[in-house]
Amino acid sequence: MLRLLIAVAVLLAAAPAATARQTDWVRTDLQRLVQPTNAARFEALQKLVAERGLKAEVHEFPGSPQSGGVPGRNLMITIGDGPKDIVLGAHFDAEKLQDGRLVEGVVDNGASVVALVRAAEALSARTNRHRIVVVFFDQEELGLLGSKAWLKSVDTRRIAAALNFDVVGYGDTVIYGGLKDDAANNVRSAMLGVCARKLRDCLRFPAYPPSDDLSFAAAGVPVVSIGVQPAADAHQMWLLMNRGKQSGLAEGVMPRVFSLIHTPADKMSAIEPSAVELAFEMAVDLVIELDERLGR
């Protein structure tokens, strides 16, 4: 009995250390994206991708009045080949404050970026039936400019499904929306299947906060936008987005995320590594699920 108790104590003592080691990559990778400019964020992202052994292409697009004439750069990783494309997307740019400083942008949207870099690494190690395209979009904060430009440069008829990740830095509940019509049934079924099999708490939004998914929907591509929030915040957000004045929430109730993103509070201290790992796992599981569904 004494030996058994000692063994259990050792295991319990080791568990937190093992968990910490598993999530160390989140903070390490995220810290590299904290840069003074979006151009520097792009350079840091390129290096991070290269260090994971992934080959990436730069998709440049011209400046516009919205960007003040500044051109943009998307970064694209192509994995394998096949008759259809499954796209994983996240914007890497951060919001600029009125004084010209860039917020750290780890919740919005560095966490999604590092999760998808790891997802690309995992997916490149397996044999897929279809081509996987992972795209990191520039100038989302200026009006979804990067995703709009990228979609104009590719054959959208090849894209069977798109998964957009935005704001996954903390929480334990997967939230998703942007499923517009019957064309997105494969994506909807994949979401429901993965959430059920993995016993994950997932909440579907009929109306969802806007992100790059709007560009895909406008191009006629089946798409879902995915985030992570604490359970209470997720349900509060659902009520605010979908019930408006009939939400039943007390006056002044507002999910934390609305006062965090696009502010100096969006920094490393806001991150919960377990939420970023959840986003990484959702990305990989959804792509595998869609790859199998589309191959039937």
| Mean of all residue pLDDT scores within the chain | 92
CATH number at residue 120: 3.40.630.10
Task: Sort 117 into a burial class: Cβ within 10 Å, 0-12 / 13-18 / 19+.
Answer: buried
Range of the domain at 190: 25-294
Q: What's the Cα-to-Cα distance from 129 to each of 77, 185, 280, 287, 288, rounded to whole Å?
A: 17, 19, 20, 11, 9
142-167 tens-digit pLDDT: 999 999 999 999 999 999 999 999 99
Q: Give the C-alpha separation, 239 to 138, whole Å.
A: 30
Residue at 18 is within a domain: no
Residue at 6 is within a domain: no
Q: Give the C-alpha separation, 119 to 10, whole Å.
A: 32
Residue at 243 is within a domain: yes
Q: How many domains does the structure of the chain reveal?
A: 1
58-112 tens-digit pLDDT: 999 999 999 999 999 999 999 999 999 999 999 999 999 999 999 999 999 999 9
Q: Which H or E element spans position 217? A: helix 213-218
Q: Which pTM value belongs to this model?
A: 0.91
Strands (E), the chain: 56-61, 72-79, 85-91, 131-137, 159-165, 173-177, 202-205, 223-229
Residue at 4 is within a domain: no
Q: Helix (H, G, I), strand (E, B), or coil: what is residue 256? A: coil
Q: Helix (H, G, I), strand (E, B), or coil: what is residue 251? A: coil
Residue at 2 is within a domain: no
Residue at 211 is within a domain: yes
Q: Give the C-alpha separation, 206 to 184, whole Å.
A: 13
Residue at 8 is within a domain: no
What is residue 234's predicted lDDT score, i.e. its pLDDT? 98
pLDDT(1) > 60 = no
Residue at 142 is within a domain: yes
231-252 tens-digit pLDDT: 999 999 999 999 988 888 888 8
